[in-house]
Structure 1
Amino acid sequence: MQALAFNTQFSADTGHSIVVHPSVTRTTAPNASAYTFTGTNSFLIGHERLALVDPGPEDQAHYHALERAIAGRTVDAIILTHTHRDHSAAAPYWRQRLGAPLWSNGPHRLSRPLRRFEVNRIARSGDFTLVPDRVLQDGALVMAGDVEIVVHTTPGHCANHLALGIVGTDTVLTGDHVMGWNSTLVSTPDGSMADYFSSLDKLIALPYRRYLPAHGGEIENGPDYARALKAHREMRNSQVVAAVEGGARTIGQVVAQIYPTQSPKVRMAARMTIAAHVEYLAERGAIKARHTLLGTRLSPA
């Protein structure tokens, strides 16, 4: 198995259209941040007829860049890999502008119900009011413009996440499920670590080698990279168990042990993902977690 190595040298060439596959063009939005890397990648699939995947944020410069890339061709559908706003906020604009239907795996939804007194830390990131014209189901074969794609449900990062395979090729659009620049944020209850692991296994078993993520550059050996991501998460599971067995009784104490020198911003994101690991491990009996008004209390199994 290859060692996990992130590629942070990606040149987004924001505002310009880059051909990344004979049937796929990438245009990166100017919404770079600690969570979006160089910005959200919007994709056009097709040749004479197109599908627009992940139109991205509400941004005039990105609108103009996509107009140039579309170049007057017919867009048959707008497809969302998922409904976090950095991918979906511009969907209503393009649905009206192009008269094209919106396709996704349904409105934004949580991976599980909120517990009493629980707060969804990334509630504002989800586009809960956006309703698609067509709900894409696992295994569906659909025409994206003049190119056939197959839909793969890949929940984990969020519940309605999809990957889109280009039929007859080794290429798949992986959204935020697998990215080359960083590991994916899994924040419960928006996302689910159990689903994330299952979706990694599912993607690894599919006949694709080249992954096109929604942030950062393409991944040339996707299955090996996904295996390395899985091993990384399994290592985090072991670290959480060790921290709890060593006396950590809160998620904050676990984060402090695993990330002792990282910045507060990194720790904030880490806290969300560690909470997802804690939930995953507690469900499997590897640790105990008791949810109280004052937070989650941890103890060894």
Structure 2
Amino acid sequence: MAPQAPPTFDTQFSPKVGAGIALAPGLTRITAPNASPYTFTGTNSFLLGTNRVAILDPGPDDTAHLESLHRAIADREVSAILLTHTHRDHSAAAAKVAARYKAPLWFGGPHRLSRPLRRFERNPIKTSCDWDLMPDRTLTDGETITAGDLTLTVHTTPGHCANHLAFGLPDILLSGDHVMGWNSTLVSVPDGSMADYFASLDKVIALPYRHFHPAHGGPIEDGRAHAEALKGHRQMRNDQLLAAVGNGAKTLGAVVKVIYPTQPAKIRMAARMTMAAHVEYLEQRGALKVKRGLLGIRLALA
């Protein structure tokens, strides 16, 4: 079998922040002004519908962004506020927007960890999660919903976090943070799960949608092929981690130094979180032995 081609990342995407950009009939993107190393050019909010709309991922609680959404909505009725997940760059404005438009909140249930915390463990992205936000309707896998005047199919895609959803339109998948074109997604245990992430990649690869519109960055022309490449990329990281441990790296910091030797500090922080998810994944599959203590973890090949 030929080796999987690496993913091609579009880092040149330059949105018109705050402008309503028509992507397809009934689908409009408004990018929030919250660019960062973790959000790229900002969170993409979407209006779904033509005469009646729903809002997907209202984004940060930012006055300028909320007014951009309001201008794009104009005088149309808002039927619901949808979330791909409850990380605050997507959901911080959700309650305020729901109250403004008297619209219900629909998402995949309250924020939850992918597994319980271990003794002495902390969730490194705890403050980035919307723990208190409750849905008026909990969306479930495979159900069909009406959002604005569009019909969507709900797909559970855990991995980046436990309550992550993607939404399907004809030939379009609104992929949230699960599949993005500018970078591979952050998987931070125990908030997320690498095993779930791989399973959700397999799921979207098997779905019939070709064009993906993610919550950060630009559209992905062939989303299934890109998801295949992302899967190969993560499998490569598994191999690199095992090789690093085999060559003497015994700690997570040592592994990150081997695999990401020149990345800036903030990127290395994200890499460390995702490498911890790879460690857990490989431990579950019997490829690594992990000894945990107050001072961190020690790694050895199984």
Structure 2 alignment gaps of length 5 or more: none
Specify the alignment match of 1:115 in structure 2.
118
Matches within 5 A, 1:125-140: 125-140=128-143
Question: 1:3 offset after TM fit, Å?
Answer: 3.4
Whole-Å separation in 1 of the counterparts to 2:37 and 2:148: 33
The partner residue of 2:43 within 40, 45, 63 is: 40
Whole-Å separation in 2 of the counterparts to 1:28 and 1:69: 12
Is the counterpart of residue 270 in structure 1 residue 278 in structure 2? no
Is the counterpart of residue 11 in structure 1 residue 14 in structure 2? yes
Whole-Å separation in 2 of the counterparts to 1:113 and 1:2: 36
Question: 1:2 offset after TM fit, Å?
Answer: 4.6
**What is the TM-score normalised by the length of structure 2?**
0.98
Specify the alignment match of 1:95 in structure 2.
98
Whole-Å separation in 1 of the counterparts to 2:107 and 2:299: 37
Whole-Å separation in 1 of the counterparts to 2:123 and 2:41: 26
Q: State which drifts further: 124-133 or 256-265.
A: 256-265
Matches within 5 A, 1:19-98: 19-98=22-101
Specify the alignment match of 1:287 in structure 2.
288
Counterpart contact for 2:43–2:89, Cα < 8 Å:
yes
Question: 1:296 offset after TM fit, Å?
Answer: 1.1
Whole-Å separation in 1 of the counterparts to 2:297 and 2:252: 7
Paired letter, 1:151: V
Which aligned segments of 4 or more residues in structure 1 are displaced greater than 6 angstroms?
none
Number of residue equivalences: 299
Structure 1 alignment gaps of length 5 or more: none
RMSD (Å) for aligned C-alpha atoms: 0.7
Whole-Å separation in 1 of the counterparts to 2:245 and 2:287: 10
Whole-Å separation in 2 of the counterparts to 1:224 and 1:60: 37
The partner residue of 1:162 within 157, 161, 165 is: 165
Paired letter, 2:186: L
Whole-Å separation in 1 of the counterparts to 2:264 and 2:175: 29
Whole-Å separation in 1 of the counterparts to 2:214 and 2:28: 13
The percentage of aligned residue pairs carrying the same residue is 65
Counterpart contact for 2:167–2:174, Cα < 8 Å:
yes
Whole-Å separation in 2 of the counterparts to 1:263 and 1:127: 28
Which string of whole-angstrom CA distances, capped at 9 and with x for unpartnered residues, describes residues 68-91 of structure 1? 110110010000000000000000
